[in-house]
Structure 1
């Protein structure tokens, strides 16, 4: 499909990117031709041998009903050392978020933003007030637990949610910080700690508060198996809570809400625990290397992360939606532009941690689209697509660029073809600025979105302001006026 039609798919959803299957159908790309830096999945698990075993059992998996959720949950609990009375398994963590909202959120919910969209969208869809604390870009989007407690108290919120690590920035609170937060908020109806990405953190197991949650009557810890096991398509996750809370949610879940693929994977895990632990170790190493490579791209700001993704602020003048579109149509690289995340803007992208060969492909593509050439090698031929930045921003002083391995040559058929557009339509600068004027030094290109290159605080607020314009609200008129600048 033509490039402009493919990228139009991103406008069909206000909260998520189009699915991988939608994009491959639209582009005609074959399996593996699109380098996916959008979906936060474990690239090293399941192992090839596990996939072979699942493939061999495909007929039975698709033919027969799964066992009961109780059977699958009991096996998972044996592996994790949990009491089944404290666990509820769902058809993905999103199903559990939905039932948490329906059963346990009565009137209001407080959550720092930007964060996972279902924690803001789900309660608003059911008429709840959502109080959103804007995470400060100046502090690298780090959450101050004391500031969040004061925010919850000042708003009178009855439910609080913290994602640890947070999505999209990967910020992580220590276990003492989380436990202190739970102590301060023990009078609330509910406190949710979403640990969906915690296993990818350097000290993931030591940071979890799942063991403490079962002793607290108002705490739920949420976990995502699809993300950890690299199997988003299976749709399975679980929560850990006091037996009363866990039982309430288990009782509301539909019968056979877990499919046969989920059962097959859970019952394979016991003999593959070593491979799973090794996959997490490799992802953590890849994250450190990926941050190192990205940090040497001039003009980019790369924030510290403990997830299996990295949050990046683009150079001034670059619109993330145009960068996303050109990376996909010109290089077959898919990234998550964050302009539709509340509390973020199109100045930011989230990049999933991938193996080194994929990162080389990403960095090479970003260099070509942003700067028109490889930053530390001679410029490409003149007929290369027009760069998004008129000049290469200065890199960190005194910091040498990493030696990137040579990118793998890709066949022409592997890159979805874009519609040929006039030069002005392919970059970020207006047409008048494209005519060469030798007497005038190159100027920084103007952003497509007027607020995309504003001060950091304004850039961070853009997503929330847009969301409110589209019908989102924090539920409190005074907060909405403050955020929108009215």
Structure 2
């Protein structure tokens, strides 16, 4: 047990920008207990069991034969989504598309709010671009103020701007009218990217996407994910939407067989299962409300509003997120995303994927045991001197989570936009250290 624990700790330590893969963790932890995954933001309700059965029945052919070319798979996806294939480029995951966007379209600089998805900072830095990082203020719930961001872009002279909507890891969502206003104000840039990888999980607005507007603009790309929405990260497929010139430029750079046979099989199953997919999104939205409510009842835990399929939380004062992550995995079989290696965040923050209630109850029980030492779950009590949050132990019989259940959805906490003043500039390796240590 101790050796496995040290191996897990080392695995996280060597994963400097992202979490280790589920497969790598499974190899280290072995079969001691199943892992309940709150780290990888998948849709737990899709594909359906029937779809998985079909994939299993066709596994031999899927693995044996070449897929069709990307044009064929893209055309089928566009027929499902109602898009013009000339405005779409499909990639082997959104990360492949981010890589090509950087190589083909980003010149000397890129502005992006942080914290956000790590590839939007790491990829351009790896190719020698200047990354202008705009810190989202914790004091205002990490809400992006578009006007202040535009001022920042102007002050830095950035030629490309990127926003994630909803943002990862906090789940903050800009309404559609605000995104369009932002695009209008930045129409002179070389490129503006709106990463909508998690937008289909949002329910604050009937249709917050700007896909239809991107195809009419000269400098706008909208990025969408399929793996996250469909619960199939391992398949690796995503797509971008832009005017035919931009989309064609990226499409021409991609290999003919950049999409695998699993991606093709799933895309050609989508028409038959669209009602089930829509239902899965409603279930995730319901679970998000309930999960936010359950987490908000833990003393000292700050839970931020989210429109993604994950929830961003700040741990109580003095808590060590890395130690908490390791102990949750070791003692409770619960895997969480500790955000200490995310630019603009720190080890005091976790991103927790939305999961069904039985899994959330396991998470909450593990947090209670590990953070506060309350005997609500099985497993060893904290060792002397290993409490993650210093302070007196709860009194005997004192429940940190009341027995009564909240009768309805949790109201969304009020979050105020950031003040309209210039934010401090940060860029490069030294700035990364300043952002992380100053978070």
> TM-score if structure 2 supplies the norm length?
0.89
- In the alignment, the residues of structure 2 paired with residue 402 and residue 108 of structure 1 have an alpha-carbon distance, to the nearest angstrom, of 53
Query: Radius of gyration: which is bigger?
Result: 1
Residue 110, structure 1, aligned to residue 111, structure 2: yes
Superposed, 1:329-348 pairs within 5 Å as 329-348=330-349
Residue 151, structure 1, aligned to residue 183, structure 2: no
- 1:312–1:350 CA contact under 8 A, matched in 2: yes
Residue in 2 that maps onto 1:25: 27
Superposed, 1:249-288 pairs within 5 Å as 249-288=250-289
Residue in 1 that maps onto 2:5: 3
Superposed displacement of residue 392, structure 1: 6.6
Aligned length: 411
- In the alignment, the residues of structure 2 paired with residue 337 and residue 281 of structure 1 have an alpha-carbon distance, to the nearest angstrom, of 27
Long gaps (5+) in structure 2? 395-399, 407-424
Superposed displacement of residue 391, structure 1: 3.4
Deviations 1:349-377 (A, max 9, x none): 10000000000000000000000005xx7
- 1:215–1:242 CA contact under 8 A, matched in 2: yes
- In the alignment, the residues of structure 1 paired with residue 404 and residue 109 of structure 2 have an alpha-carbon distance, to the nearest angstrom, of 51
Residue 129, structure 1, aligned to residue 130, structure 2: yes
Superposed displacement of residue 13, structure 1: 1.7
Give the alignment's Cα RMSD to 1 decimal.
Answer: 2.4
Superposed, 1:367-382 pairs within 5 Å as 367-374=368-375
Superposed displacement of residue 204, structure 1: 6.0
Residue in 2 that maps onto 1:56: 57
| Alpha-carbon spacing, 1:227–1:481, altered in 2? closer, same or farther (3 Å) | closer
Superposed displacement of residue 192, structure 1: 0.1
Residue in 2 that maps onto 1:176: 177
Deviations 1:89-130 (A, max 9, x none): 000000000000000001000000000000000000000000
Residue in 2 that maps onto 1:207: 208
Superposed displacement of residue 268, structure 1: 0.3
- In the alignment, the residues of structure 1 paired with residue 151 and residue 198 of structure 2 have an alpha-carbon distance, to the nearest angstrom, of 26
Deviations 1:11-46 (A, max 9, x none): 11211111000000011037x810000000000000
Residue in 1 that maps onto 2:413: none
Residue 387, structure 1, aligned to residue 354, structure 2: no
- 1:368–1:387 CA contact under 8 A, matched in 2: no
> TM-score if structure 1 supplies the norm length?
0.81
Superposed displacement of residue 484, structure 1: 7.9
- 2:35–2:334 CA contact under 8 A, matched in 1: yes
Superposed, 1:73-472 pairs within 5 Å as 73-203=74-204, 206-374=207-375, 384-385=382-383, 386-391=386-391, 401=402, 403=404, 471=429
- 2:19–2:337 CA contact under 8 A, matched in 1: yes
- In the alignment, the residues of structure 2 paired with residue 387 and residue 123 of structure 1 have an alpha-carbon distance, to the nearest angstrom, of 40
Superposed displacement of residue 5, structure 1: 1.8
Superposed displacement of residue 4, structure 1: 1.6
Deviations 1:462-485 (A, max 9, x none): xx99x96xx3547xxxxx989988
Superposed displacement of residue 383, structure 1: 5.5
Superposed displacement of residue 252, structure 1: 0.3
Q: RCO higher in 1 or 2 (8 Å CA, sep ≥ 6)?
A: 2
